[in-house]
Every structure is written in structure tokens, then in C-alpha cells.
Amino acid sequence: MTTPTSTTLAAQLRAEVVQMSHRAKAAHLASALSCVDVLTVLYGQVLNLDPAQPDHPDRDRFILSKGHAAAALYAALAWKGLIAPDQLLTYGEQHSLLEEHPSPKLPGVEAATGSLGHGLPIGNGMALAARIQNQAYRVFVLMSDGECNEGSVWEAAMFAAAQGLDQLTAIVDFNKWQATGRSQEVLKLDPLADKWTSFGWAVTELDGHDHDQLLAALTRTPSGRPHAIVAHTIKGKGVSFMEDDNNWHYRVPTEQEVLDAKVELGVA
Amino acid sequence: MRNAFARAVTALADQNPNLVLLAGDIGNRMFDAFKDKHPTRFYNCGVAEAGMTGIAAGLAASGLQPITYTITPFNTLRCLEQIRDDVCYPNLPVILVGTGAGLSYASLGATHHSMDDIAALRILPNMHVICPGDAVEVELAVAAALELKRPTYIRIGKKGEPVVHGQPPVFQVGRGIVLREGADIALVSVGNVLPIALDCAEVLTDKGFSTGVVSLHTVKPLDHSLLTDLFNRYRRIAVLEEHGLAGGAGSAILEWGCTQGVDLRKLRCFAGPDRFLSACGNQQQARVAIGLDTGAIVQSLVQGWEF
């Protein structure tokens, strides 16, 4: 059930991400905003993580394969208690492990992402390791739609299906944009859900901003098959003047724009 | 060498429950014994080397010790960024094994030659680069790499190479093996050219040159103390490698030597040219074509003796 807590949390994370982009003059704000609801539901209600033991062998694994959305991950990690909230202030600064793409040295980061197409193969290895070692943890990999341009994604998709890795869930943040154009036009991505189905995956197509739908899908474990969630999203979601405007792939908000965004998000 | 690898990995998997073998759709029958004994620890990852490298990283991040195996260019250059980002950056215990070192597959054409893999792998932080000289060194290298628990590349040949070591030598990653002492010429052999080095040593000795031979199986990290000793004691240091000159072991020795005050005029590098080798025949013919055979090496060293 969508709790006020969940929507409030998503708004808080969005405000944090907007503030971080401004402070660090860091790009990829709209890409981070589009996946905040997925992260909110994952970190709020799905992932089995103990902040006191971030390396516990039985923890669920989450890989932000679209590493350019790192700010959203850091905000979620801080909320969950895996990193200190104060650390968010150091985002993008020298001597901070909060780099614009996740460093494997940071607690809570499962893989060094930033180069696209790396997360799903690594997720395969983690899911396979669980099977080999008789562990029950789950593995979640969040990718962008542009990332599905990478051949390694489809190498991994075939392997996961061949091995029946049902502990693995891939989520595609399908915001219809990549860096320089519509993801349907740069390469022919549609029909994306059908692609995953044809690769042997169980597929759920949903509204990637609807927490009820996300919770239901993220807690679903189809027997014998990996699960792909094609999450229809809006790039820049939550801030009206950024929504579906690809200029915000690279643009950094001004101080006034941060204030406007916070008002709109209802976060003081 | 590849049969030695299969033998080694099967035996080591008996002792090490964390060892997982990943293959890129080659070597199927070779690993039958492994698959029989350890069915949950062998995976054919298909013709998908980037995917295989990522899988290895995920396994290693979860407490296992994966070994990836396929033909050298496919297991190195094809998936180089996965090796860099997924394996080396997090410093994970992944072992990459490339079969077909140098010109092992000369007749298959330049797509299957591997004259650039040492260069590509040794530039990556955290990576270790091991080039065994014979089947005995292959078995020892795999065992040592499993002990090391760091990113490691092992470059092996094909099958049927001469076995050099009658008895297993002491094998340590980063420590060359002295096979023969001398005073005039030190032949520093890297990888599968070790039998050539020993052959050259015989001929050079017959010609009156006191010749030593070292198997410098580890290119990264380099054995600095051994190299210092060689430069101090010998009048020539000749590096032999079935790899391009650019970025190979000789190049690594130059990078090291230029800050050490050793006399780099003593150094000779026998390596491959800066061009694709086409229509080069089998491995032996290709070696002759690029001057990496006993006759050419000996002639070059003897003719260039006075400087």
C-alpha cells in the first residue's frame, strides 16, 4: 500500500538530489529524478539490508547500473543509514567517495558503474553465487533505457535466462530519453517489454512512479525465470519544469530553481 | 599448456570449494572431468566475453574465486573495459586465462593472434600478468594465482609445447626462475618462448658465450631484484617474448630500468613488429618470419656483440 511515508520519502530524496546537483554542479539530474520512486520502494520496503553490516553475505544486492544517477543512490543510502547524511554535502568534492559515478569503495555500492552495460552481467554473477552457495538473497539491477543499447545487456539477458536465475530482477528506467535524443529514435528500442519476454524473462510493465505497482512487482519472484520490470517513467519526474525536457540531462539548476523545485516537492 | 590448465583447475577445485570455472564456449571436452566432479561450479557463458567477465566479477564480489577461460584476444581486448571496471577497480579475485598466447594460433589469422594482450593487461592497476613458460609453470601459476586472490591474467599457449621443467621449480608470482647461470648473455624468456631461449643458450654457449636463462613468467609485478642482478652481472640482457615490442615485457623492463641507473645499452628486445601478420603460416613459420627463432636471435646477439 502506498503510505504517505513512501511518497514523502520520494519527495525528500528528490529535493536532496536537486540540491546535490546544484551544489556540486553535477549533471544527470533528470536521470536521477526519473528513478527516485524505484529507489524509494527498494530501499524503503524491499531490500533486506542491515546498515550496521553493509557487507553481510546474506544481504540483498542492488546495483545501480545506470551509474550516472548516483546522486539518487547516495540520497537513498543516506536515508537508509548506510552512509552518514552529512556525507551528501561532500558529493563531487575532492576526498569524497561520493563521486558522480559510484565508487566500489563506498559502503552500499555493490559495483563500480558509470560505464553502461556492466551491471547486469555482474548481477548475474551475484545471483549465480547465491545459487552455488545456497544463499537466498535477491539481486536487483537498475538500468536506463539508453543502457539497453549496450550488447553486454543482452549477453547477460541470455545467460540469466539460460540459467533460470529467478533471484535476479532487472529494472529498466524507461524514461524515453538518452543523452542526445529519444531512446526510441537513437536505436530502435521498442517493443522493449517484448524484447525481454523474447529473451526468456518474466516481464512486468508498470508505471515507474506508482509505488503500489512497484512494490508488487519488486516483491514478485517468478519461479525459474529472471524478472524484468519495464518501468515507464518521466525523465526529471517531480519537478514540472524539468519533466520530459532532455536539457536537464546535463543542465545544473540555479539556486532559484532549487528553491522552486523544493516548493513544488513540498520539501522545505 | 591448455591440458595442463584443465588438469590443474580440476585438481585445485577438489581442494578449493570457492573455485568456479567459466568458459566462453570453448574447451568443452577438456573440462569433462571438472564438470563431472563439480557440476555446480562450471558454466559455459557462451560467446559473450563481456558478459562472462561481469559474471566473474559478481561471483568474486560474493566470495567465490572464478576463473574465466577462452581464446586470448577474446578474453582480453574484447572485454578489456569489464576487466578494468568490474575486476581491477574493485580489486576482485578473478583469474583470466587466455589460451593461444602470441602466435600459438598463427595459422588462424590475425584475429586470433595475441601480440598485444600483455600490453593491454599490464596497464591496469591491481592486475597481475603471468606468462608461464611451459605446462609445469601453467599448473604452478594457476595454484599461485588462487593463493594471491587478486586480479590475475594467465597467458597460456595451446597444446603440445615442450616441457622444460623436469621437476616443479619454486614458483612465486613476481619472481623469475633462473634455469641456467652464465656471465655474458642473460636470456630473459617471457612465456611460451622458453624452449627457444634454452635452445639459444645451447648454441650461444657452443659459440663461446657464457649464457644464462631466466623464465620471467611474471611481467607484472616485475622481479626488480632479479633484473638488477642480471644488469649487474651480465654484459647483455636479451628479452624474448612472443608479443609485440610496444608495451610488452621488454617495454616494461625499459620503464623500470630508466629510473634505476642500470645500463640499458645492455638490453636487447626480441619481440613482434608493429604490423598485423597475415599469411604467416604456422606458429614456427610465423616465429621465423618475425625473427623470433633460435637462428635469428643467436645471429643478432653474436653480430651485435661489440658496441
- ipTM value for the complex: 0.95
Q: Average pLDDT of A97-119?
A: 97
Tell me the pLDDT tens digit for each residue of B233-245. 999 999 999 999 9
Q: How far is CA A172 from CA A33, A46, A145, A206, B57, in A?
A: 14, 17, 6, 11, 22
* Contact with chain A for residue B48, Cβ under 8 A: yes
What's the CA gap between A72 and A39, in Å, rounded?
8
* Contact with chain A for residue B89, Cβ under 8 A: yes
Neighbours of A2 (CB within 10 A): 13
Q: What angle do CA A70, A76, A81 make, to 5 degrees?
A: 125
Q: Average pLDDT of A153-182?
A: 97
Residue range(s) of every CATH 3.40.50.920 domain in chain B: 177-303
For A4-265, CATH number? 3.40.50.970
What's the CA gap between B274 and A199, in Å, rounded?
42
pLDDT-derived band of residue B155, with 50, 70 and 90 as boundaries?
very high
Tell me the pLDDT tens digit for each residue of B38-61. 999 999 999 999 999 999 999 999
- Per-residue pLDDT at A4: 60
Tell me the pLDDT tens digit for each residue of A192-222. 999 999 999 999 999 999 999 999 999 998 8
CA dihedral of A196, A201, A206, A209, whole degrees rounded to 10: -90
Is the bond preceding residue A51 a cis peptide, omega within 30 degrees?
Answer: no
Tell me the pLDDT tens digit for each residue of B190-233. 999 999 999 999 999 999 999 999 999 999 999 999 999 999 99
Between A and B, how many residue pairs show a Cβ–Cβ distance under 8 A? 104
Give the residue from A30, A38, A29 showing the smallest Cα distance to A10.
A38
Q: What is the mean pLDDT of chain B?
A: 97
- Please tell me the distance in Å from B186's CA to the nearest CA on chain A: 43
pTM above 0.90, yes or no: yes
Residue range(s) of every CATH 3.40.50.970 domain in chain B: 2-156
A132/B64 touch (CB, cutoff 8 Å), yes or no: yes
Tell me the pLDDT tens digit for each residue of A70-84. 999 999 999 999 999
Give the residue from A219, A220, A224 showing the smallest Cα distance to A47.
A219
A132/B61 touch (CB, cutoff 8 Å), yes or no: no
Q: What is the mean pLDDT of chain A?
A: 96
pLDDT-derived band of residue A117, with 50, 70 and 90 as boundaries?
very high
- Per-residue pLDDT at B307: 52
B85/A128 touch (CB, cutoff 8 Å), yes or no: no
pLDDT for A29 beyond 90: yes
Asked whether the beta carbons of B197 and B238 are under 8 A apart, the reply is no
Of A125, A152, A163, the CB nearest to B59: A125
- Per-residue pLDDT at A206: 98
- In chain A, domain spans: 4-265
List CB contacts (< 8 A) between B45 and chain A.
159
Quick one: A84 exposed, middle or buried, by C-beta within 10 A (0-12, 13-18, 19+)? exposed
List CB contacts (< 8 A) between A113 and chain B.
85
Tell me the pLDDT tens digit for each residue of B112-143. 999 999 999 999 999 999 999 999 999 999 99
- From B46, which residue of chain A is nearest by alpha-carbon distance? A159
pLDDT for B305 beyond 60: yes
pLDDT for A126 beyond 80: yes
- Per-residue pLDDT at A3: 56
List CB contacts (< 8 A) between A163 and chain B.
43
- Per-residue pLDDT at A70: 98
At the top level of CATH, the class of B177-303 is alpha beta
A138-175 CB burial, b ≥16 within 10 A, e <16: bbbbbbbbbbbbbebbbbbbbbbbebebbbbbbbbbbb
Superfamily of domain B2-156: Thiamin diphosphate (ThDP)-binding fold, Pyr/PP domains (3.40.50.970)
pLDDT-derived band of residue A268, with 50, 70 and 90 as boundaries?
confident
pLDDT-derived band of residue A1, with 50, 70 and 90 as boundaries?
very low
